[in-house]
Amino acid sequence: MAKSRRITLIGAGNVGWHLARHLENAGHQLREIYSRNLKNARKLVNNLYDAYPTDSLDFSESDAQIFLLAVPDDAIPAIVNEIILPENAILAHTSGSKGLEVLSHLECSSGVFYPLQTFSKAKEVSFEDIPILVEGEDKATEKELIALAKSLSNEVQAVNSDQRRILHMAAVFACNFTNHLLSISKNILETEDLSFDLLKPLLLETIHKALELGPENAQTGPAARKDIATIKSHLSSLEESPELAQIYRLLTESIMERRII
């Protein structure tokens, strides 16, 4: 069992919601729960043992040791400007796309505590398998944050800000763009009154194969087999949707590693 820590959470959104409860389950003590909107902080506190809701960023009297900043990226600067921390505090943000430097002008030890998962309040997640990527401005801070992360997850890794930015970008390709391709696919099916559910078994098998064999060994389809006739037929079906045709052409060319037109 890891050492119990006193933790204050800044932000009562999706990430904060799951973090707070899993931290408590792991034996840590939640102190203040901050939200700009006190109502949100109260809602989360109601699910916790002994935390305290607040809409003030003056934590000078807090006895928390670690402050986790779980707010949207664009809310970080305003909070960092206003926050008052007790001495010897560690402040770590939970953002995949922000570097350590967004906290660097504060008089505290700064770090990053980034759980690589998408959260929604309504859906329980098992934290054990979620990679938590940690960075500290110095070895002591990093060690402290790694210990905290390991109390939640079996997949803890120290990564620097460059690596984390690359990881976040890779996640945009693998997840955000993938989801958008599914939207496009669903729209295409709807033009012929076909259900997106028809693709479900194929999609799940595609993902499982990619994870099992590596995506580079699992590529199939007209581009992979250089089936120009099918590619041309698809492009002609997309004639009235130049944007989709452009996406089709670009990804096809990228798979084939050459220009088709």
Site for a copy of itself, residues 56 to 85, rule: CB under 8 A: 72-74
Interacting residue with a copy of itself among 61, 192, 239, 240 (CB under 8 A): 192
Nearer Cβ to a copy of itself (58/73): 73
In this complex, which beta carbon is closest to a copy of itself, that of residue 38 or of residue 253? 253
Query: Closest separation between CB of residue 160 and a copy of itself, Å?
Result: 9
- Beta carbon of residue 38, minimum distance to a copy of itself (angstroms, whole number): 24
Please state the closest distance from residue 179 (CB atom) to a copy of itself, in A: 5
Q: What are the CA-CA distances from residue 237 to residues 22, 50, 187, 228 (Å)?
A: 49, 60, 14, 14
Site for a copy of itself in 223-242 (CB under 8 A): 223-225, 227, 229-230, 233-234, 237-238
Q: How far is the CB of 158 from a copy of itself (least distance, A)?
A: 12
- Contact assessment for residue 29 and residue 8, using Cβ atoms and an 8 Å cutoff: no
Listed in sequence order, the residues at least 6 apart from 126 whose beta carbon sits closer than 8 Å to its beta carbon are none
For position 206 contacting a copy of itself by CB under 8 A, the verdict is yes
Provide the minimum distance between the beta carbon of 142 and a copy of itself in the complex, in angstroms, as a whole number: 17
Residues 176 and 164: their CA atoms lie apart, in Å, by 17
Dihedral angle computed from the Cα positions of residues 74, 77, 80 and 82, in that order, rounded to the nearest 10 degrees:
-110
Instruction: Write the DSSP string, 153-204.
Output: -S-EEE--HHHHHHHHHHHIIIIIIHHHHHHHHHHHHHTTT--GGGGHHHHH
Q: Which of 2, 78, 211, 260 binds a copy of itself (CB under 8 A)?
A: 211
In angstroms, what is the minimal distance from the CB of 13 to a copy of itself?
13
Of 8-47, which residues contact a copy of itself (CB under 8 A)? Answer: none
CB-wise, 121 or 180, nearer to a copy of itself? 180
Q: Which is nearer to a copy of itself, 57 or 188 (CB)?
A: 188
Residue 125 found at the interface with a copy of itself (CB under 8 A): yes
Among 154, 191, 232, 260, binds a copy of itself (CB under 8 A): 191
Q: Binding a copy of itself by CB under 8 A: which of 49, 105, 201, 261?
A: 201
The alpha helices in 29-157, defined as continuous H runs, are: 38-45, 76-82, 139-150
Which of positions 161-180 make contact with a copy of itself (CB under 8 A)? 162-163, 165-180
Cα 231 to chain centroid distance, Å, stands at: 35
Answer for the pair 89, 107: CB distance below 8 angstroms, yes or no.
Answer: no
| CA–CA distance, 213 with 26 (Å, rounded to integer) | 35
Contacts of 76 (CB under 8 A, 6+ apart): 69, 93, 95, 98, 102
Separation of alpha carbons 132 and 148, rounded Å: 10
- Contact call for residue 154 and a copy of itself (CB under 8 A): no
